[in-house]
Amino acid sequence: MQDGTLARWPMITITLMRVVIGWHFLYEGIAKLTAPSWSAAGYLKQARGPFASLFKQLASEPDRLANIDVITMWGLTLVGLLLVLGLFTRLASVVGIGFILLFYFATPPFVGYFYALPTEGSYLIVNKNLVELCALLVVLVTGSGRFAGLDRIVHGLLARRRRIPAR
């Protein structure tokens, strides 16, 4: 898909989607930052699927776990902020997709797995993580930050890329 080929209403709705996804990331990040003792340990320890041993390994090393906790808390918060603001939208989308991929494969919603901690549903392979991931893919390829977002100003100032006109 080429940037800037979408009509006005598709761009508006995709922007709305971007803001809502950003909101979700921001909430997840800030909720973890403000919780007195949040840790990814419980989540990682219940990992299932092909990469389970890798995730469990991460949870068992205290030093590495501490880093993971910090990266997760701040990563989610920053991605959320950037998506809501439409700043560095492509970068934020890629990082956000990376996070969701990790979440998806840590607790894949495959038939036959039963989790004790809440997950994002299971609808046979598809879950809400996967839906959000696909939505972020749309955000990634449509560059909605340059339609409505700080990217529009940044790119305007740098004047290197065409802003997306609303046709």
Partner 1 sequence: MAGEDEKQERKAQAGAEGPRKLDRRDVLMGLSTVPALGLFGYAWRRHHQHQQARLDAAVAPPVAPADLQVINVALLGAGAQGQVLADAMLRISGLRFRAVCDIWSEYNQKRVVNSLRRRAVCDIWSEYNQKRVVNSLRRFKHEVSGYEDYREMLDKEKELDAVVIATPDFWHAQQTVDCLEAGKHVYCEKEMSNTLEGARRMVTAARQTGKLLQIGHQRRSNPRYLHCYEKLLGEAKLLGRIVTVNGQWNRAVAPDLGAPARYAIPAARLEQYGFKDMHQFRNWRWYKGLGGGPIVDLGSHQIDIYNWFLGVAPSHVVASGGLLYHDPKTHEWYDTVMCVYDYDTPEGPVKALYQTQTTNGSQGYFENFMGDQGTLLISESELNYAGRLYRDPNAPAWDIWVQKGYVTAPKLQEVRQQEDSVTVVDVRESVSPDQHNVPIVLRDPYHQPHLQNFFDAVRGRATLNCPPEVGYESAVTVLKVNEAIEARSRLSFSPEDFRA
Residues 43-72 interacting with partner 1 (rule: CB under 8 A): none
C-alpha torsion 145→149→153→155, nearest 10:
-10
User: Which of 46, 163, 22 has its CA nearest to residue 106?
Assistant: 46
Query: Nearer Cβ to partner 1, position 73 or 104?
Result: 73
Query: Nearer Cβ to partner 1, position 12 or 102?
Result: 12
Does 42 engage in binding with partner 1 (CB under 8 A)?
Answer: no
- Using the contact rule CB under 8 A, the part of the chain among 31-39, 99-107, 108-116, 129-137 near partner 1 is 31-39
Site string for partner 1, 82-121 (x = CB under 8 A): --xxx---x-------------------------------
Number of other CB atoms surrounding residue 33 within 10 Å? 14
Query: Which of 17, 19, 59, 68 is the binder for partner 1 (CB under 8 A)?
Result: 19
CA distances in angstroms from 7 to 28, 89, 152, listed in the order given? 32, 19, 17
Query: Which of 17, 44, 46, 152 is the binder for partner 1 (CB under 8 A)?
Result: 152
Q: Are 76 and 28 in contact (CB under 8 A)?
A: yes
Provide the token pair at 111.
């038939």
CA distances in angstroms from 53 to 10, 37, 150, listed in the order given? 42, 24, 41
Query: Which of 81, 102, 131, 138 is the binder for partner 1 (CB under 8 A)?
Result: 81
Question: Which residue's entry shows tokens 């998806």?
Answer: 104
Provide the token pair at 49.
């699927």
* Residues lying near partner 1 in the complex (CB under 8 A): 2-3, 15, 18-19, 22-23, 26-27, 30, 33-34, 36, 81, 84-86, 90, 147-153, 156-157, 159-163
